[in-house]
Amino acid sequence: MRTTPVLRSLAFGMLVLLVAAVAGLSGCSGDKDAKEETPINRIPTDRWVVRVDGHEISGAWLRNWCVTQIRQLESSGPVTVDQCDMIRSGRELLTKLVLVALEAERRGVTVSDEEIQEKLAEEMSRFPSTETWLKVLNESGLTREDRKEQLRLESLFFHYQDEIVAPEVLANEANDKVTREFYDKFREKAFSQPRSLHLRHILRASPRDAPEEERQREKALLVSARDRAVAGESFADIAKEISTDSTALKGGDIGWIDETLPILPDFKATLLELEEGQVSGVFEGPHGFHLFKAVEVKKAGIQPYEDVKDAIQKRIFSEAIKRRMGRQSLELREQFISSKKLEFFNLVPSTGCVMTPKEEEQVEELKAAEHSGESE
CATH of the domain at 53: 1.10.4030
Contact 54, 98 (CB under 8 A): no
- Tell me the Cα Rg of the chain: 30
Confirm whether 188 is domain-assigned.
no
Q: Which residues pair with 296 in a beta bridge?
A: 198
DSSP reduced 3-state for 17: coil
Let me know whether 275 and 358 are in one domain: no
Residues 137 and 35 in one domain: yes
Rounded percentage of the chain residues whose pLDDT exceeds 70 = 85
In this model, does residue 22 exceed pLDDT 60? no
Half-sphere exposure of 190 (CA within 13 A, CB side): 12
Domain span at residue 82 reads 4-180+309-375
Does 259 or 128 have the greater pLDDT score? 128
Which pLDDT belongs to residue 376? 53
Please give the tally of structural domains in the chain: 2
CA atoms within 13 A on the CB side of 206: 21
Same domain, yes or no: 121 and 246:
no
What is the pLDDT averaged over residues 14-26? 39
> In the chain, pLDDT over 90 holds for what percent of residues?
66
Is 33 within a domain? yes
**Assigned domain for 185 exists:** no
DSSP element (H, E) containing 44: none
Cross-strand partners of 62 = none
pLDDT for 17 equals: 40
Q: Look at 28-32, 36-40, 90-94 and tell me which has the smallest mean pLDDT.
A: 28-32
Distances (CA, A) of 272 to 170, 288, 297, 304: 40, 20, 9, 22
Q: Could you tell me where the beta strands, DSSP code E, fall in 153-281? A: 192-193, 196-205, 253-258
Report pLDDT for 9: 37
Whether 323 is covered by a domain: the verdict is yes
Residues forming a β-bridge with 258: 196
Residue 178, C-beta contacts closer than 8 angstroms, at least 6 positions apart:
316
Among 287, 302, 317, residue at a domain's last position: 302
Q: What is the pLDDT of residues 9-19, one digit of tens each?
A: 333 333 334 43
Nearest to 49 by CA among 312, 344, 355: 344
Kind and range of the H or E run holding 359: helix 357-375
Q: Say whether both 294 and 327 belong to one domain.
A: no
- Same structural domain, 288 and 313: no
CB 229 within 8 A of CB 238: yes
CB 108 within 8 A of CB 92: no
Selection from 304, 307, 312 nearest residue 174 by Cα: 312
- Asked whether residue 186 is assigned to any structural domain, the reply reads no
DSSP 82: -
Examine the domain organization and report whether 268 and 337 are in the same domain.
no
Does residue 43 lie in a domain region? yes
Report whether 6 contacts 314 (CB < 8 A).
yes
Q: Which of 302, 329, 345 represents a domain boundary (last residue)?
A: 302
DSSP readout, 226-263?
Answer: HHHHHTT--HHHHHHHH--STTGGGTTEEEEEETTS--
Length of the chain: 376
Closest CA relative to residue 320, chosen from 157, 156, 155, 179: 179
Query: Rounded to the nearest 5°, which phi and psi values hold at 204?
Result: -120, 105
Please check the confidence at residue 21 and state whether its pLDDT lies above 90.
no
Q: 48 and 174 share a domain?
A: yes
- pLDDT tier for residue 372 given thresholds of 50, 70 and 90: low
Do 325 and 287 share a domain, yes or no?
no
Asked if residue 137 and residue 29 are part of one domain, the reply reads yes
Q: Give the Cα separation of 100 and 330 in Å (integer).
A: 10
Do 37 and 141 sit in the same domain of this protein? yes
Angle, helices 144-160 vs 83-106, to 10°: value is 70
Last residue of a domain, one of 256, 285, 302: 302
**CA 160, CA 165: separation in Å to the nearest integer?**
6
Instruction: Say if strands 48-52 and 342-344 run parallel, antiparallel, or are unpaired.
Output: antiparallel
Alpha-carbon torsion, ordered 205, 208, 212, 218, to 10 deg: 20
Residue 65 and residue 18: Cα distance in Å, rounded? 5
pLDDT of residue 263: 75
pLDDT-derived band at 161 (thresholds 50, 70, 90) equals very high
Instruction: Please check whether residue 168 lies inside any domain of the structure.
Output: yes
Q: Residue 24: pLDDT above 50?
A: no
pTM equals 0.68
Whether 166 and 207 map to the same domain: the answer is no
Residue 285 maps to which CATH number? Answer: 3.10.50.40
Q: How confident is the model at residue 139 (pLDDT cuts 50, 70, 90)?
A: confident
- 187 part of a folded domain: no
Same structural domain, 270 and 332: no
Largest CA distance in the chain: 100
